[in-house]
Amino acid sequence: MDLLAVHQTSVRIRDECCDLLNHEWPRSRALRMRTIDSSRDSLPAVFALVAQGGDGVVLGTLKMSPIPSDPKAVWIESVVVHPGCRGKGVGKYLMLTAEKKAREEMGYEKAYLSTFDQQIFYSKLGYSFCAPICSYGGNIALKGNLAEGIRRQGQDNSAPKTDKTNHVQPKPTPPFPDSGAVPPAPPPPPPPPLAPPPPPTPAGPLPSSSNSGSPSEDISLQCAKVFSRPSLPSQPPRLEKMPRRLSPSRDIVKTNKDSICRAVLSKDFMCKRL
């Protein structure tokens, strides 16, 4: 098994990564390929774990991006393993191989990620819960332009401003004509405000999200029990039978975002020192 950057491989490898990602998280193929085609040496980069060199099937994929607030840390996301080889150590080998590449070839010292439902898996790889961190995988060239814009805005806000309101003379009210005309009557007072409606009857406590970086007590205890820092094995996991490539022509059932209760989604941030 080899971990290859997709921008240095063939079109077939990129297509298989797209099929693998859409199998897990259905999305427009054009948008998915736009992300994959933006992979480059300086990050963000998409990697593929390929069996038997560059001629085999893609067993897994992930993406690594820089973190603007911490140049010594890398952000790992979109980690997917082929459904035909899950539970056989492929995901572990994929993560440890990517961490080694980030540490030895790119000079990163820490790795961050976020997950909704794989906290235990990442705890077995040495990740622990941490506070949320801002990251993005877009065009890093925008970073300098954004910083320059923020700097200029700060200079504009710090410049002294002249209060022009003190120099505005009130417009004199023209006197009523001498013809004895009666001024118009003042408008009637506004009606009294309506009483607020009674509060609705609560149907029960809503589950809270842990996007603030504070995982639930149950998941924290489970992760603490299985926490470990494994080393990269000298040999990749052996697969008795190689999985077949996922069919790109299959029907993809898109998720209706309106039917998702986002309050029950628990997104936890985790980090590891490489």
| pLDDT tens-digit map of 165-224 | 555 555 555 555 555 566 677 787 887 777 676 666 555 443 444 455 567 778 999 999
| Structure-derived torsion over alpha carbons of residues 219, 225, 229, 232, reported in degrees to the nearest 10 | -90
Q: Could you tell me the pLDDT band of residue 242, with boundaries at 50, 70 and 90?
A: confident
Distance, CA of 92 to CA of 112 (rounded, Å): 16
Cβ proximity of 41 and 79 under 8 Å: no
pTM, rounded to two decimals: 0.70
Distance, CA of 65 to CA of 143 (rounded, Å): 13
Question: In the chain, what's the furthest Cα-to-Cα distance?
Answer: 108
Which residue bears the tokens 């609705």? Answer: 200
Distance, CA of 152 to CA of 93 (rounded, Å): 47
% of the chain exceeding 70 in pLDDT: 68
Distance, CA of 117 to CA of 266 (rounded, Å): 8
Cβ proximity of 203 and 260 under 8 Å: no
Cβ proximity of 97 and 258 under 8 Å: no
- The pLDDT assigned to 259 comes to 55
Q: Could you tell me the pLDDT band of residue 20, with boundaries at 50, 70 and 90?
A: very high
Encoding tokens for residue 146?
Answer: 């954004």
pLDDT of 28 strictly over 80: yes
Cα separations (Å) of 13 from 5, 53, 197? 10, 11, 60
Encoding tokens for residue 79?
Answer: 């980690």
Contacts 24+ apart (CB under 8 A), 78-86: 78/21, 78/46, 79/113, 79/118, 80/20, 80/21, 80/23, 80/24, 82/20, 82/57, 82/58, 82/243, 82/246, 83/23, 83/243, 83/246, 84/243, 84/244, 85/59, 85/239, 85/243
- The pLDDT assigned to 267 comes to 87
Please list the residues that pair with 61 across neighbouring strands: 48, 80
Length of the chain: 274
Cβ proximity of 101 and 8 under 8 Å: no
Contacts of residue 50, Cβ cutoff 8 Å, sequence gap at least 6: 1, 2, 3, 4, 9, 13, 56, 57, 58, 59
